[in-house]
Amino acid sequence: MLMVEMPPNSFNINSRLHNCYEMWGMKIISYDTFSAPKRPRRKQLPFQHGTRKLSGQSYFSDKTIEVDCHLTRHLPKAELREIIAILVRPMRLFFWDEPDKYYIAELFAEVDVDVFPSEVRREFTLPFIAEPFAYGEQNRVRLHRGINYIDYTGTAEAPTLIVLRNVNNHNIVNPTVTSIERISD
């Protein structure tokens, strides 16, 4: 995996090579991605006080990542409009302090940018709507004959994609894949 060092207090879009600080002079003052809102799993029962917790797995809603920025150089309004047009499409969003993870996000709400006569350090907030959890690089594991263990280190349960390719000149007969839930240590 190619790791590109990002300037401090910056973010990249779609690729580790498209840094918003280097392209447009956008520097992050602060941002928050601590947790996604958990969906309520409770039901109010008639003729009962309070609510009852439903059994089953908990789910999370999309979260808002508010990125407080300031510009380090002059950008005309026309260029700011072009930047907003890029940011409103779904994209991968990387932050300098976790360059190995990214969010699937898009700018969803309007952005208010204060325009000052001196054009020095415009400050604004970019409110991105993002999927609840950060993504990491895909783990590619070469399978071998027998039992293969796949280590999952993510924070949320995620589906596994298993691709079987025949790299031989002859047909594979009776391939078997058995799914076993996580074994606790």
Tally the domains of the chain.
Answer: 1
At a CB cut-off of 8 Å and minimum separation 6, what does 45 contact?
51, 52
Supply the pLDDT for residue 185: 45
Check which CATH number belongs to the domain holding 87 and give it: 2.40.30.200
Catalogue the E-assigned strands of the chain.
11-13, 26-31, 42-44, 51-53, 63-71, 91-95, 98-107, 123-130
Q: What is the mean pLDDT of residues 123-134?
A: 89
Classify residue 86: in a domain, yes or no. Answer: yes
Please state the rounded mean pLDDT for residues 22-36.
84
Q: Which residue has the tokens 């058995």?
A: 178
Residue 79 in any domain: the answer is yes
Structural domain span for residue 84? 11-43+57-130
Flag whether 151 is in a domain.
no
How do residues 92-123 score in pLDDT, each as one tens digit?
A: 999 998 888 899 999 987 777 766 655 667 88
Tens digit of pLDDT for each residue in 161-185? Answer: 777 788 889 888 888 777 666 555 4
**pLDDT tens digits along 141-160:** 777 777 777 776 666 766 66
DSSP string covering 99-124: EEEEEEEEE-S-------TT--S-EE
- Residue (of 12, 30, 32) closest to 22 by Cα position: 12
pTM above 0.95? no
Q: Is residue 154 part of a domain?
A: no
Would 147 be classed as within a structural domain? no
Question: How many other C-beta atoms are found inside a 10 Å radius of the C-beta of residue 147?
Answer: 7
Domain assignment of residue 150, yes or no: no
Asked if residue 32 belongs to a domain, the reply is yes
Residues 107 and 127: beta-carbon distance below 8 Å: yes
Report if residue 126 sits inside a domain.
yes
